[in-house]
Amino acid sequence: MRTATRRRYLMCPPAYFDVAYSINPWMDPAKPVDRAIAMAQWERLRDTYLAHGHAVETIEPVPGLPDMVFTANAATVVDGSVLLARFRHAERADEAAAYRTWFHHHGYADVREPVLINEGEGDFVVAGPRILAGAGFRTDRGAHGEAQEIFGLPVISLVLVDERFYHLDTALAVLDDNEIMYYPPAFSPGSQKLLRQLYPDAIVATDDDAAVLGINAVSDGRHVVLPQAARHLVAELRSRGFEVTGVDVSELLKAGGAVKCCTLELR
């Protein structure tokens, strides 16, 4: 029997969600966005976390910041210490100030300003005793050392090579302290070899899983929430004893985000 650990998450309602620019291959401003559908999908995701016994904090969305719904990119939080994001693209840069204010107003005493570009839990994935860190498109590789100094955990650098999987959390998800699922073609050959050594029993996603950002998932050690269209991953997870909830995030996918992108864990 797998054991769930109660978590605290930070989420942001998609009140101003839109695809007004293109900073990743999923985004096409010519395709219309239905904000009401996006809100309904987001609410279903939040309610799923609450039903699993987790706590969900929310931050007020800011007009003109359509990607603020993707809270995972805002920071990395470990043992109450916060490393804020420094966004690569100007379109998202103003999100950092909104999140900085939220952390200060909610009692976080150790809030660090980054020196180098990092995009929070988009590229820093906490995996038990280590942090898996992505580089190649958004986060500077030098920021991996910055995170290691702040959190005192070993940081394993992984190189992303497919621009569709521009953040680590679009290509890899932690299921518990020692288990992951990932999509090998998103990584450089050396990073693939390293992942095979670290996680020989990992669940390997298919091309179809990757095409719906199925790896962009959240696990509490027992319950896994992921895009419902990732049917292969759903079956694999259930075969390993996880309880799986598939959710529809098709509207949010238009901006290149899914379940994990909307979820920042407050450790």
Active site residue 54: no
Which one of the listed residues 12, 167, 223, 262 is annotated catalytic? 167
Could you confirm whether 12 is annotated as catalytic?
Answer: no
Q: What single string gives the DSSP state of each residue in the chain? A: -------EEEE---TT----S-SSTT--TTS---HHHHHHHHHHHHHHHHHTT-EEEE----TT-TTTT-GGGSEEEETTEEEE-B-SSGGGTTHHHHHHHHHHHTT-S-EEPPSS-B-GGGTEEEETTEEEEEESSSS-THHHHHHHHHH-S-EEEEEB--TTS-SGGGTEEEEETTEEEE-GGGB-HHHHHHHHHH-TTPEEPPHHHHHTTTT--EE-SSEEEEETT-HHHHHHHHHTT-EEEEE--TTGGGGT--TGGG-EE--
Positions annotated as catalytic residues are: 167, 261
